[in-house]
Structure 1
Amino acid sequence: MVGIINSYIDSLALFLAILFIQGMSFRKIRQYRPSWFHNASMKIFLSVLLGVYYGLAGVYFIYLGAFENSPVVFTNMRILILMLTSVFGGRIPLICAYVVMMLGRISLNADPSITGRYIILMSLIFAACLLVTFWKKQRFSKFIALLILSFPAQLYYFINNFDGGHILQGFEIVEYLFLSFATGLLVFYACNYIDKSNLVIQTLTETAMTDSLTNLPNMRFFTQQFAWIFNKSLKKKAPLSLFIIDIDHFKEINDFHGHQAGNTVLAQFSSILKNRTFPPRTMFARIGGEEFAVLLQNVDATQAALIADHIREEIERAKFPYTPTSGQVTISIGVATANCSFSTTESLFEAADQALYQAKQSGRNQISVHQGDAI
């Protein structure tokens, strides 16, 4: 009994390390590539990546089971992998993990009869996991259901002389079932804790980086992303254009209609920006008051000027519930495009800001493109 418990403790420690690595990796992806979790194709890619990762972990357990004296313990770990990928990942990670594990088992070149029984076992578990993914229940309920559904499949494993080991009998079966159940609960709560911790960190990060009124990124987030995108464009020698947008006569809206009216105008303007079609990987941000920034990758000065003027015309045509006393809601836009003269984000930002100042000095409701050397 002591030997079995020690084997479970060792395998559980390894399993927890696998969970921790995956949790930290996805946390970093959320930090540096948050858009991946909102893009349909990238979400599929991440699901496949998750499934392959856990499938490879299962293959590792397969090889450990082949060379260790506790094949039953490591088989239970593989069963838990399928359960967790179905409960926390869904169908795509489950299918990928199952396929990778089956390929890993076949590559072991073991006795065909043993491999056949193993495939039957894991296929039964896979079928139960796949069925549970369609069940609209909480994660814990799904996991308990899978533990219960897995007992017949595990009994099939215990009494069929898998991996050349002896057939389990009597109290041994009870021991393994109990330890499998207890280990499963521990792994579930560890996985749930990691997942919820990542979600809390993500929520706090998004709250700290998002403007609460417009739901656009704030100045802090923009500054971080601007530096990373600028350096990437500089290395690739790709064009990078920056707009700084200011809502004309915004103070009149606040003074005449009240600050709530001004907030309504800001929210509607932000909605127009978000719903408009821009080149891929365009980033928006509210950088303060009635000022906004738009960062366009792989967009040169000529394209940038056309896009900026289209935005200006669209705002001029839009119907806002509140307007300044001087007329319709309009915007002024300063445009600057990175070239060999701009070596820092500050110089590009200052160039766009000066162009905005020129647009406002020239009568507002227009765009101004920065000309000349960097600041």
Structure 2
Amino acid sequence: MSNQFDAYIDSISTFLAILFIQGIVFRKLREVKPNWFLNHRTVLLLNILLGIYYGLIGIYFIWRGELDSATVIYTNMRMNILLITAIFGGRVPVSIAYSIMVLGRLLLGDSSPHDIKFILLLTGFFLICFIVTNFKLNLLKKYVIVFSCAIPVLAYYYFTDFGSRTILSYGEAIIYYFLFMVTSALLFAASNYIDKSNKTMFQLRNSAMTDMLTNLPNIRYFLNTFEKYFLTSSKKRRPLSLIIIDIDHFKQINDLHGHQAGNTVLSQFSAILKNHFLPKQALISRIGGEEFSILLPNITLSESTQIAEIIRSEIERAVFPYNPKSGNVTISLGVSCHNDLNVFYKTKENLFEAADQALYSAKQGGRNQVQASKKEA
């Protein structure tokens, strides 16, 4: 029994390490590629990779079961793989993990009747897991259902000849039932904790980097991205354009209609910016009260000036519920570009200052216009 206990501790430690590694990888992905968790294709790709990951772990437990006398322990672990993958991954990961484990059993076994029995056992439990993934229930309820359905499946395994001392006495069966219950509960709790903590960390990070009113990236996110884009532009000698936008006479809107009206204008204005077609990797941010910015990697000064003019014209034609005393809502825009037309800036602050000076010129020149920086560093 000591060998069984060692195998149990070893297998559960391995499983927890596997969960921990997956949690770290997914947390990092959420930080680096947050859009991957919103796009249908990339979500599908992640689910496929998750299924492959747990399928290979299942093969590892099959291999350990072939080498060790603790066959029952490792079979319990394979069932836990399907249970956890189904509840936290869904249909695609659990289907892939099951398919890989079946293939692994065929490759590592000798195609004996006992191998067929193992595959039938795994298939029965997989079907239970697959069906439960379609239920619109919370994770705990899904776990309780799958665990309850595992009891008769395990009974079949414990009291059927699988060719490796798997016909158990009632006392042994009770012990292994208890171990399966403790293991699955521990793995469920660990998976739930990792999943929730990852999502919470992502939400906290997202809220810290997002302007709550406009739902655009805020000044903190803008500065972090600006730093990366500027370094890439300098290193690869590719242009980086910056557009700074200011809503004309915005104070008049607040004074005439109230701050709530000003917030409405800001929300509508940001919606227009977000719906405007921009080049790939462009970043729109709110960097001040009524001030916004657009970072445009690999876009020249003339191209970014044209983009700014199109945005200016679009805002001029748009209908806002609240307008300043001077007329319709309009904007002024300043544009600067690094690594274009032999214009280079030593720092990102110099590039920002050039765009800000161009914005100042646009406002001084009568507002509702675009001014491009002519400054050379």
| AA at the equivalent of 1:36 | W
Pick the aligned partner of 1:371 from 355, 368, 374. Answer: 374
Q: 3-state DSSP class of the match of 1:333?
A: strand
Q: Distance in 2 between matches of 1:369 and 1:266?
A: 24
Residue 214 of structure 2: aligned partner: 214
Q: Could you tell me the TM-score, scaled by structure 2's length? A: 0.92
- The CA RMSD over aligned residues, in Å, is 2.1
| AA at the equivalent of 2:87 | V
Q: Distance in 2 between matches of 1:55 and 1:236?
A: 41
Change beyond 3 A, Cα 1:129–1:338: farther
Q: Distance in 2 between matches of 1:365 and 1:125?
A: 67
Contact residue 241 and residue 297 of structure 2 kept, 8 A: yes
Residue 285 of structure 1: aligned partner: 285
Encode CA deviations 1:186-224: one digit per residue, 9 max, x unaligned: 110111111111122122212211111111111111111
Residue 201 of structure 1: aligned partner: 201
Aligned length: 374
Contact residue 233 and residue 339 of structure 2 kept, 8 A: no
Q: 3-state DSSP class of the match of 2:215?
A: coil
Instruction: Give structure 1 stretches of 5+ with no counterpart.
Output: none
Equivalent pairs: percent with the same residue? Answer: 50
Q: 3-state DSSP class of the match of 2:36?
A: helix
Q: Distance in 2 between matches of 1:229 and 1:96?
A: 39
Q: Distance in 2 between matches of 1:295 and 1:213?
A: 20
Q: Distance in 1 between matches of 2:235 and 2:129?
A: 46
Change beyond 3 A, Cα 1:155–1:338: farther
Residue 358 of structure 1: aligned partner: 361
Q: Distance in 1 between matches of 2:374 and 2:82?
A: 60
Contact residue 8 and residue 183 of structure 1 kept, 8 A: no
Please give the residue correspondences for 1:12-23 in structure 2 after superposition, counting only pairs within 5 Å.
Answer: 12-23=12-23
Q: Distance in 1 between matches of 2:34 and 2:120?
A: 40
How far does residue 44 in structure 1 lie from its aligned partner after superposition?
1.7
How far does residue 369 in structure 1 lie from its aligned partner after superposition?
2.3
Contact residue 240 and residue 296 of structure 2 kept, 8 A: yes
Please give the residue correspondences for 1:1-375 in structure 2 after superposition, counting only pairs within 5 Å.
Answer: 1-162=1-162, 164-339=164-339, 341-374=344-377
Contact residue 71 and residue 163 of structure 1 kept, 8 A: no
Contact residue 159 and residue 168 of structure 1 kept, 8 A: yes
How far does residue 141 in structure 1 lie from its aligned partner after superposition?
0.8
Q: Distance in 1 between matches of 2:234 and 2:53?
A: 34
How far does residue 136 in structure 1 lie from its aligned partner after superposition?
0.9
| AA at the equivalent of 1:92 | V
Encode CA deviations 1:57-104: one digit per residue, 9 max, x unaligned: 222222222222212212211211111111111112222222332333
Q: Could you tell me the TM-score, scaled by structure 1's length? A: 0.92
